[in-house]
Structure 1
Amino acid sequence: MQVKNQSVHLPILTEKQISLTIKREDLIHPFISGNKYRKLKYNIEAAKTQGCVTLLTFGGAFSNHIAATAYAGKVHDLQTIGVIRGEELSQKWKTNPTLKLASEHGMRFKFISRNAYRDKNSEEFRKELESEFGKFYLLPEGGSNKLAVKGCEEIVTAEDIEFDFVCSSVGTGGTLAGIITATKQNQRVLGFPALKGDFLKEDIRNFTPKKNWELQTDYHFGGYAKVSAELIHFINDFKMLTKIPLDPIYTGKMLYGILDLIKKDYFKPKTKILAVHTGGLQSIAGMNANLKKKNLPQITI
């Protein structure tokens, strides 16, 4: 498993006397990369211990979690089922790079409406799924549960004690909770949600009692999977300058936010920042297809 800390060198960092390092979790694996590897690690162990041969989980059209679960199931000889948000995708999923990849790795799909998807955590819906598919090991949307948090605690290692801030993008909150748990009390953790709103705070508090963290909620670019030409240009420029690819749903927004905060003097001079690259690069192909339809610039692959 190849993970390294990579220093970033940009004029703004020199000007503000800030050190920025990227933890390249995206290099763990081409399909099960970043936080998805961490979240699945102990859940797959638990599924096997319980004698389950099927993983069932939830996600949308660009879901990194769906793609990673499908491949992990293939590697560990487990069947996988994806309950997919948006019944319209049932007619066109073969043109969706994420879902096509998941299918090639053995995942079966159940497409449901967005209204039905809101009730995905209800006991009634779970019984319906069990009636249709039989016994399965349930992974929540995004993969966040206690075992996922345990896996994400392993993102932060002993060598990371030197950093004043540890930053991560936030989807469902499990990754950030694991990072918070693993950091020392003198370190601060910043989360950059990909979704609108402040509702994730309670979810994160359910996983960790520590208080050395906060969410930066101004960098979602309109909400989950929403992008703009400005964000795309930032991602492409960042890759050109640093050779580090970013995804448009999570890490692109996080790095945009970190550098914007640096410009605004949020961090004191001599601050050392560690930003966790949570992977998710598989979503770029699908996003580029959508961007092309909207006559927006493409993300450099």
Structure 2
Amino acid sequence: MKIPEIQIPIIPIPLEKNITLFIKREDLIHPEISGNKFWKLFYNINHYLEKNPEKPFIITFGGAFSNHIAAVAALGKESGVSTLGIIRGEELHGRWQYNPTLKTAADNGMEFRFVTRQEYSDKNQLTENLQIEFPHALIIPEGGTNKNAVKGIQYLLNNETKSFDYLCTAVGTGGTVAGLSRFAEQHQKVLGFKVVIDQSLEKTVAELSGKNNFDLIDAQDGGYGKITDENIRFINEFYQNFGIELDPIYTGKMMRKIFELIEEDYFPEKSRILAFHTGGLQGIEGANEMLRKKNRALIQFGK
């Protein structure tokens, strides 16, 4: 992987309060390996390929609509590396063709191995078994979070981001918020908006970051993977008002919570806030299919 030459825009979000809010469009960095996924994979794949493995092979983990699975599959195709996805949910075997995320991943060359939720919950044992079975493979954790991923997140920051007081990101496995914390300026506070129930997240982030300049804020809004009608309304209104698409699992929940905190005067006057758009838009098609089956409102862009 090479560092893209594209200039990532930082877009102002007008507010009535004496606070400035901007969003950095990392979702535009690559058509398929978007947002934080690009940078979390950057050092993982480069360090692996520097070893000149005879038959490069990447194995990773994810659910049915995983942004990480989609990104690794696209990376494999672009790099000429074979990929295997360990997918949570044995019931998906034989039905993955009807899942937009998995179908696209398969089109990009990824093979799948479906495991039960119980097997998936013990990823340490799964990883150990896979490393024995495929001794020369690069095994990347779920969500891509590891030390190499944290190192790559530094590229979300540049001279343009130094003037902000708050750096905000959605949090799944913790790698992105840990990277922002580790490489932030001394005066900056990092806010991670949790979309999962994971009591170990704060410890994980602190260990990967090595700093205590961050806070984790609950933004689950019904739980991981859950999409409430309020969240759909917010995402649709945000697009109508600002022309920016948000995904319902990560960035939609983060931006909605940021707006709530602004209304609650969480941020001091004249604060400069920067939110990172970490991608995830590939999952909207699958989300809308699920919502359509339940006769619920859809996420609608350009309408």
Is the pair's TM-score, using the shorter chain for normalization, greater than 0.5? yes
Q: Does residue 24 of structure 1 match 2:25?
A: yes
Partner deviation per Cα, 1:228-250 (whole Å, 9 max, x = no partner)? 00000000000110001000010
Cα distance in 2 for partners of 1:60, 1:22 equals: 27
State the match for 1:44 in structure 2.
45
Paired AA for residue 296 in structure 2: L
Cα distance in 1 for partners of 2:177, 2:199 equals: 14
State the match for 2:184 in structure 1.
183
State the match for 1:5 in structure 2.
10
Contact 1:165 1:190 in 2 (8 A): yes
TM-score computed with the length of structure 2 as normaliser: 0.94
Partner deviation per Cα, 1:69-93 (whole Å, 9 max, x = no partner)? 0000111110000000001111211
Q: Report the identity percentage.
A: 48
Cα distance in 2 for partners of 1:133, 1:164 equals: 45
State the match for 1:165 in structure 2.
166
Cα distance in 2 for partners of 1:205, 1:131 equals: 31
- Matched residues, number: 294
Contact 2:284 2:299 in 1 (8 A): yes
Contact 1:154 1:182 in 2 (8 A): no
Paired AA for residue 139 in structure 2: L
The CA RMSD measured in Å over matched residues stands at 1.2
Q: Does residue 263 of structure 1 match 2:263?
A: yes
State the match for 1:233 in structure 2.
233
State the match for 1:276 in structure 2.
276
Partner deviation per Cα, 1:210-237 (whole Å, 9 max, x = no partner)? 11110111x2112211110000000000
Alignment of 1:112-127 (within 5 A): 112-122=115-125, 125-127=126-128
Paired AA for residue 272 in structure 1: R
Which consecutive unaligned segments of at least 5 residues does structure 2 have? 1-5
State the match for 2:214 in structure 1.
213
Q: 1:89 aligns with which of 87, 92, 95?
A: 92
TM-score computed with the length of structure 1 as normaliser: 0.95
Q: Does residue 288 of structure 1 match 2:291?
A: no
Shift of 1:173: 0.4
Alignment of 1:143-158 (within 5 A): 143-158=144-159
Partner of 2:162: helix, strand, or coil?
A: helix
State the match for 2:61 in structure 1.
58
Closer, same or farther in 2 for the Cα pair 1:134/1:94, shift >3 Å?
farther
Contact 2:164 2:188 in 1 (8 A): yes
Partner of 1:267: helix, strand, or coil?
A: coil
State the match for 2:81 in structure 1.
78
Paired AA for residue 120 in structure 2: Y
Paired AA for residue 237 in structure 1: E
Paired AA for residue 299 in structure 1: I
Shift of 1:2: 3.9
Cα distance in 2 for partners of 1:194, 1:51 equals: 37
Cα distance in 2 for partners of 1:110, 1:29 equals: 27
Shift of 1:133: 4.7
Shift of 1:134: 5.4
Cα distance in 1 for partners of 2:37, 2:102 equals: 16
Shift of 1:128: 3.2
Shift of 1:199: 2.5
Partner of 1:286: helix, strand, or coil?
A: helix
Cα distance in 2 for partners of 1:100, 1:24 equals: 26
Cα distance in 2 for partners of 1:119, 1:203 equals: 17
Partner deviation per Cα, 1:163-207 (whole Å, 9 max, x = no partner)? 110100001000111111111121111000110244210110111
Shift of 1:106: 0.2
Which sits farther off after the overlay, 59-68 or 180-189?
A: 180-189
State the match for 1:101 in structure 2.
104
Shift of 1:51: 2.9
Shift of 1:150: 0.6
Shift of 1:132: 4.7
Contact 2:131 2:139 in 1 (8 A): no
Which consecutive unaligned segments of at least 5 residues does structure 1 have? none
Cα distance in 1 for partners of 2:160, 2:75 equals: 28
Contact 1:2 1:27 in 2 (8 A): no
Contact 1:196 1:222 in 2 (8 A): no
Closer, same or farther in 2 for the Cα pair 1:209/1:31, shift >3 Å?
same
Cα distance in 2 for partners of 1:205, 1:162 equals: 24
